[in-house]
């Protein structure tokens, strides 16, 4: 069978869990859908464009002649509705994950399966965060992808890997439907996270990217809001791991202690993936969020005071209902003063089941598109300038690919501490020693840029166990 993954790093982890379960049940995984008996498509249901990509992937899989099974966020969110619209595919929900081998047997043997009826997964566990810990262990608890760790099967061979901290979200942002189909926030026990980290290290991973819907909430359902602060040094100390980075931080929940641990712990990247979404205080309140330009600039300033070369990335939404020209100008002020390394720019679209669908002040699509282009142009200029600011600085680059055959002796691709492996640009290194290997950290001086990408001259490998 073949497995196709769409969407975020959290979905990638879920796919590797499914791959591990299927391999344990005797299924042989292949890279190409052509010739496979079945294709499992792990869908994304985050925004309209992601849903379209998921549907396109399902339809493309049907062209292979294989049986097609849709899982993931879009399948969970729409269930029977998706099955009715795409009769070519069997649609499974999260509760099928623990028995995915049996479900695939059913599909291949033409045993009928009834698509699930979607439900608000926030209602399936106790409201009290601490009470969820016991509830998740109960036999009748809903399945939560990525929890109750089973040995993953890696679907990529590189030296970086995502490691899931938690699933779900307790926030109620007006534009976001994720909590309804991913459920309430549930942390994985620290011992489980560490066990998986050691397993990943044994698979050749040297950089861990910690992912969840909201990593700053980690531990609140375990009764310890400092859980992540305690866990990060332990993860960084795992044998074979040279760098740990945290993704998906919520600005309103970023406590001083966590800020300091990320900035000052050896082996933890001074990197802040902050979910700002906008910076106009009034518009943020309409989004059911907190903060504003001045608060966010102060937060960035505190982090830079602790780690002057820290990396920052965020996403912003343009065209939310009621957004004015003054709101856009406020966002421009924030982006210009914050000097972030990477910014994702998205146009607002209605997501059924969210509060924003019923808000007044909807903008026409051409106006949303124009604002997206305007901020995208600004961001491209600002992030390129931020990269130029790093010329003359010293960075630690994790090597990912030897480019010597194409570019000449000693040339490698990699990413510095301020660059997420998948989203924030790359660093091209020259003068890398011949004995270098993927996953190794190399000290380098930045000598040039190409947009947000850096060009650097290697100096020496970072000593092991530093």
Binding-site residues for [4Fe-4S] cluster, in ranges, read: 8, 44, 73, 169, 173, 176
What Cα–Cα distance (Å) separates residue 135 from each residue in 184, 227, 421, 441? Answer: 12, 20, 35, 42
Nearest to 109 by CA among 101, 117, 97, 119: 101
| 406-432: b (≥16 Cβ within 10 Å) or e | eeeebbbbbbbbbbbbeebbbbbbbeb
Query: What gap in Å lies between CA 155 and CA 19, rounded to an integer?
Result: 8
Element holding 84 (H helix, E strand): helix 80-85
What Cα–Cα distance (Å) separates residue 76 from each residue in 97, 181, 236, 352, 404? Answer: 11, 6, 34, 14, 45
Element holding 305 (H helix, E strand): helix 293-306
Report residue 115: phi and psi, to 5°.
Answer: -60, 145
DSSP for 50-80, written as a single string: HHHHHHHHHHHHHTTTSEEEEEEHHHHHHTH
Contact of 410 with 385, CB cutoff 8 Å: no
Binding-site residues, in ranges, read: 8, 44, 73, 169, 173, 176
Query: What gap in Å lies between CA 325 and CA 328, rounded to an integer?
Result: 5
| Torsion, CA 241, CA 13, CA 202, CA 151, rounded to 10 | 140
DSSP for 11-38, written as a single string: HHHHHHHHHHHHHHTTPPPBS-STT-SE
Query: What gap in Å lies between CA 92 and CA 326, rounded to an integer?
Result: 45
């Amino acid at each position: 069978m073949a497995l196709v993954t769409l969407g975020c790093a959290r979905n990638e982890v879920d796919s590797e869990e499914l791959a591990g379960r299927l391999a344990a049940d005797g299924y042989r995984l292949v890279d190409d859908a052509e010739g496979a008996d079945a294709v499992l498509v792990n869908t994304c249901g985050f925004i309209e464009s992601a849903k379209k990509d998921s549907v396109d992937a399902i339809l493309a899989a049907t062209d292979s002649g294989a049986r097609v099974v849709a899982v993931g966020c879009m399948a969970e969110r729409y269930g029977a509705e998706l099955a009715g619209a795409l009769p070519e595919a069997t649609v499974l929900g999260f509760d099928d994950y623990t028995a995915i081998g049996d479900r695939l047997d059913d599909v291949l043997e033409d045993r009928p399966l009834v698509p699930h009826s979607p439900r608000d997964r926030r209602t399936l566990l106790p409201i009290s965060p601490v009470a969820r810990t016991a509830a998740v262990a109960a036999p009748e608890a809903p399945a939560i992808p990525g929890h109750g760790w089973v040995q993953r099967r890696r679907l990529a061979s590189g030296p970086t890997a995502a490691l899931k901290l938690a699933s779900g979200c307790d926030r109620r942002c007006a534009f976001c439907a994720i909590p309804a189909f991913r459920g309430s926030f549930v942390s994985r026990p620290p011992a489980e996270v560490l066990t998986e980290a050691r397993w990943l290290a044994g698979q050749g991973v040297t950089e861990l990217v910690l992912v969840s819907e909201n990593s700053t909430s980690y531990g609140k359902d375990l009764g310890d809001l400092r859980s992540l602060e305690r866990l990060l040094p332990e993860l960084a100390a795992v044998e074979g791991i040279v760098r740990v980075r945290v993704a998906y931080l919520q600005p309103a929940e970023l406590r001083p202690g966590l800020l300091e641990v990320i900035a000052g712990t050896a082996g933890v990247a001074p990197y802040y993936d902050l979910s700002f979404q906008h910076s106009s205080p009034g518009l943020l309140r309409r989004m059911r969020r907190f903060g504003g330009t001045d608060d966010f600039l102060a937060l960035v300033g505190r982090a830079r005071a602790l780690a002057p070369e820290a990396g920052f990335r965020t996403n912003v939404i343009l065209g939310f209902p009621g957004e004015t020209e003054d709101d856009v100008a406020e966002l421009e002020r924030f982006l210009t003063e914050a000097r972030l390394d990477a910014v994702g720019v998205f146009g607002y679209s209605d997501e059924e089941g969210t509060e924003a669908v019923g808000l007044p002040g909807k903008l026409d699509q051409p106006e949303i598109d124009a604002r997206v282009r305007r901020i995208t142009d600004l961001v491209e200029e600002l992030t390129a300038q931020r990269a130029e600011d790093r010329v003359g600085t010293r960075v630690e680059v994790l090597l990912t690919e030897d480019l010597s055959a194409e570019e000449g002796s000693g040339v490698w691709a990699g990413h510095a501490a301020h660059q997420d492996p998948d989203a924030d640009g790359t660093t091209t290194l020259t003068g890398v020693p011949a004995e270098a290997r993927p996953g190794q950290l190399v000290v380098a001086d930045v000598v040039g840029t190409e947009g947000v990408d850096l060009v650097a001259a290697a100096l020496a490998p970072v000593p092991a166990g530093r």
